[in-house]
Amino acid sequence: MRRGAVTALVVFAAWASAASAAVDIKGVDTSGYPEMRVTVTAPPGSVEPTLDENGRPVTVDQAVSLAGAKSIVLAVDRSHSMAGRSLRDATAAALALVHSIGRTDSVEVIAFGHRAQVVSTFSQSPDATLRDLTVDRTSGTALWDAVTLASTGLSTRPATQGRVIVVVTDGQDVSSTATRATAIRSAVAVHATVYTVGIASPDFTPSPLEALAESTGGSYQEATSSAQLLPLYRSIGRSLERTWELRYATAARPGESVVLEAAVAGAGRSTRGVVLPGTPPPLRTARPAWTSRLDPLALAGAVFVLMLCAVVFALGARRRDWLASRLDPHVATTRRAKRTSHRGEARSLLKRLFAATERAFANVKQFRSLQRMLVRADLPLLAAELVYLCLGCAIATGVVAGVSGASAFVVLVLVFLGGWAPILFVAMKARSRIRAFDEQLPDLLTTIAASLKAGHSFRHSIQSVVDEGGDPAAKEFRRVLTETRLGRQMDDALSDLSTRIGSKNLSFALTAVTIQRQIGGPLAGLFDMVADTVRQRQQFARKIRALTAMGRMSAYVLIGLPFLVAVAVSAINSSYMGPLWHTTTGHELVGAGLVMIAVGSLILRKIVTFRG
């Protein structure tokens, strides 16, 4: 009988030893979402635990082993209830814990009675301070103030070290200015692991200490008397040697449930579920395409009916068109008058709106720039019409993005891009037209010079350009001739052409021609010289563009690479990019990235752009 009892005791001891060395997730801190802090205990001397989230391995940003360098705050209760042997046992147990820690660890001592105070700042040997602790003369227990004060002290310690708070008390808080929630938030904010020890007494309530330890990844232990504090403190010291703090950025969204699994090779694994703070995203359940066998038949019948109606309407419309063409000579005047009146009213209303907008913004510099851009692009639009077109595109893009379920940030970005799209199109068309005019300019000047050498007048030389040249040069010089026929001076018409086109080469040429015409002299030689100068300028610009091609391509790659990577990663693993698109911090990071890309693109553009 005795032999069986001994065997059972040995088996139980072995089981308890194995259980103490097993892997266990002690706590999960989600207050810093999307950063998660997981406290894991593993066998002493084991390697860093691996962590999985919902079955997928995660990248641990920072792993801190409490067996290494750490900062410990000992918060010792010295209220009236701890008088006598209780305080002596508490200080003796604290001294034993101090002597068992590593050489690189530092300890701070906080004593709390009716108020909490630091009696020894961080050092490696607070022995004298612990031995000199006495009972507070004023009644009260400021437990939560002690935890808050300990958190404040730990906030100044290096972030690479572990942070631990050990609290021992035999009563409940009665004199703190801080609340329990405040104390827990302060400990969580500095990533401190809190170990609480309660001494049973008539006024003692363990639930606050249990909540404090649970919220920070620590543990709560209870002693029936102060004589049991020494083995409890020693167990805390052994627990510190086995504890790891792992921090990583979660890919889960607020409100979702996450299953964490920590594992150490050869030592086992542990799982724990946690719900992330915040409102869960709405669930979208996929509705089956066919809920009945008759659904495909009904869909096919509906398609057939629609196609039949389309054929009938097409035939009927063609018949009505034929009949209307036969009756038009007799009754078309009235119909056309009615149609024209309705269309005229609508057009008149739009014209009044555009005219009012033009009058309101006529003196605005940006509004005049839009009108000048439209003229250079050769588009039959007013600046007011372009503005309303931009507003319509922005609203339409925002509505489509909102209906498709995009986030508010994405909707704002698409509204911005949709509003600027018409202006960018006009700017590109104007730039293309100016470039085409510059390409024609040397041949145009040579044609004018040849016509002048043949004895023709300057006006006839421009007419030869209109007859033999192509657009846009022929169209613009045709307008110059039209203006001169209506009584405008040739110099004024050419000056308006230079302003309207916006070409520097044309401006140089027209300035030289105007001066020559005013002071007198042969124009043919001047046109030859200006044509040769413009051609050389264009060749030099092409050479510069070829030399800076590599820089421009580098700029395009550096600007486009972040967007391509974002699209590729989102397509491969959308949950990985979720925090970037669906959190405030992610939106701030995206905004900062866009600003930096814009600044970098401007710098690169300045480097590779030559303006001669």
SS (H, E, C) 525-579: HHHHHHHHHHHHHHHHHHHHHHHCHHHHHHHHHHHHHHHHHHHHHHHHCHHHHHH
Same domain membership, residue 45 and residue 123: no
Cβ 73 vs Cβ 166: under 8 Å: yes
Pairing relation of β-strands 220-223 and 162-169? unpaired
Confidence of residue 13 (pLDDT cuts 50, 70, 90): very low
Same domain membership, residue 166 and residue 116: yes
Helix (H), strand (E), coil (C) string for 280-308: CCCCCCCCCCCCCCHHHHHHHHHHHHHHH
Which candidate, 243, 233, 245, places its Cα nearest to that of 107? 233
Phi/psi region, residue 268 (left: phi>0; alpha: psi -120 to 50; beta: rest), is left
How close are the terminal C-alpha atoms of the chain, in Å? 106
What's the pLDDT score for residue 285?
47
Residue 388, in any domain of the structure: no
Highest mean pLDDT of the ranges 184-193, 337-346, 379-388, 437-446 = 184-193
pTM to 2 decimal places: 0.44
Same domain membership, residue 198 and residue 79: yes
Give the integer Cα–Cα distance in Å for 423 and 389.
9
pLDDT (average), residues 389-415: 79
Tally of structural domains, the chain: 4
Residue 105, in any domain of the structure: yes
What's the pLDDT score for residue 332?
46
Confidence of residue 1 (pLDDT cuts 50, 70, 90): very low
Residue 250: DSSP 8-state = -
Confidence of residue 14 (pLDDT cuts 50, 70, 90): very low
Residue 517, in any domain of the structure: yes
Sign of CA dihedral 11, 12, 15, 20: negative
pLDDT (average), residues 531-544: 81
Same domain membership, residue 98 and residue 233: yes
Cis peptide before 34 (omega within 30 of 0): yes
User: Domain with 534 in it: what CATH number?
Assistant: 1.20.81
Give the integer Cα–Cα distance in Å for 372 and 381.
11
Q: Which of 2-11, 105-114, 321-330, 351-360 is predicted with the least confidence, judged by mean pLDDT?
A: 2-11
Give the integer Cα–Cα distance in Å for 497 and 434.
12
Strands in 162-319 per DSSP E = 162-169, 193-199, 220-223, 243-249, 257-264, 268-275
| Token couple for 277 | 């703070």
pLDDT (average), residues 75-83: 84
pLDDT at 283 over 80: no
Q: Which of 99-103, 185-189, 366-370 is predicted with the least confidence, judged by mean pLDDT?
A: 99-103
Give the integer Cα–Cα distance in Å for 462 and 468.
10
Same domain membership, residue 13 and residue 110: no
Highest mean pLDDT of the ranges 178-187, 316-325, 431-440 = 178-187
Cβ 47 vs Cβ 118: under 8 Å: no
Residue 263, in any domain of the structure: yes
pLDDT (average), residues 187-209: 83
Q: Can you give the C-alpha Rg of the chain in angstroms?
A: 42
Residue 131, in any domain of the structure: yes
Sign of CA dihedral 534, 535, 540, 544: positive
Strands in 125-192 per DSSP E = 162-169
pLDDT at 321 over 70: no
Question: What average pLDDT does the structure give for the chain?
Answer: 77
pLDDT at 546 over 80: yes
Residue 600: DSSP 8-state = H
Domain range for residue 471?
429-542
Give the integer Cα–Cα distance in Å for 243 and 223.
22
Pairing relation of β-strands 193-199 and 162-169? parallel
Give the integer Cα–Cα distance in Å for 210 and 588.
37
Residues across the chain: 612
Which candidate, 603, 587, 591, places its Cα nearest to that of 555? 603
Same domain membership, residue 245 and residue 255: no
Residue 85, in any domain of the structure: yes
Strands in 366-446 per DSSP E = none
Same domain membership, residue 552 and residue 531: no
Give the integer Cα–Cα distance in Å for 181 and 187.
10
